[in-house]
Structures are given as C-alpha cells and as structure tokens.
Amino acid sequence: MAFAGKYQLETQTNYEEFLEAIGLQSAKTEHKVVTEVVQDGDNFTWTQSIPGWTWTTSFTLGQECEMESMKGVKFTGTAKMNDGKLSLKFPEYFFTAEIVNEKLEMTCVTPGEKSVTFKRVSGRI
C-alpha cells in the first residue's frame, strides 16, 4: 500500500504553463492542493482537493477503466505499475506518480512539439 495516504503540496514546477497547455487557465490557484490516495490492492481512488474544487478518479491497475480527467472529459484508460511507478495516459497529458523518500512525486507531460512537464511533490499529512 505504498501510495495510500493523504498528502499536501510542498513544491511544484511549471503548474501555470501546464494548466494553459491543457486549457484550464481558469483553474490557476495558489492554494495548497491536498491529494488523498485510497489503495486496496490494485484498486485506487485518487482525489485532489483545494477549497471549492475536488476531482476524483478511480481505477484498477492493468484493467481498462472509465475515468474522468481534471477537465471533466470522460475517457477509458489503463493504469499500469512498473518498478513502483504508477502511469496513466489522460486525454491531455501522460501522468506518472511514485513515492520517493516518503513523498508523493507526480509528473504530468503534455504531448507535442511544445511539450510541458509539470512536477508536483507532496508530503504526507
């Protein structure tokens, strides 16, 4: 259950550039994002919250699942786990997450020639 827990944002890079790249300019915020991961074996529920906004998606590793992106786009995807790193292709970006030194490190990379890499590090709370 390496991912299970509640985490609060500590640092992030390229956040506003990432939001612009995926078309969520109105979501820009300076709030501390709280991420909660519930893990039961291969089943995950992933929630991110700031005051006034919450996004949740659920999935099972290795199985095609119906999910919803941060933009509210419904899609079918398959989450994978390789060497302790979770990966999932969203419609707007490629997402990876791993636990490094008890911190949740998430990276989102937009596709294309002008790719943007957004990184967020959160500590357990």
pLDDT tens-digit profile, the chain (125 residues): 589 999 999 999 998 889 888 887 666 566 688 999 999 999 999 998 988 888 888 999 999 999 988 778 899 999 999 999 999 999 999 999 999 999 999 999 999 888 999 999 999 99
Q: Residue 33 has what DSSP assignment?
A: P
Which residue range is the domain that position 34 belongs to?
A: 5-124
Number of folded domains that form the chain: 1
* CATH number of the domain encompassing residue 109: 2.40.128.20
Q: What is the pLDDT of residue 94?
A: 95
> Which distant-in-sequence residues (6+ apart) come within 8 Å of 52 by Cβ?
none
Residue type (1 letter), 111: P
Tokens of 41: 């074996």
pTM for the predicted model, two decimal places: 0.87
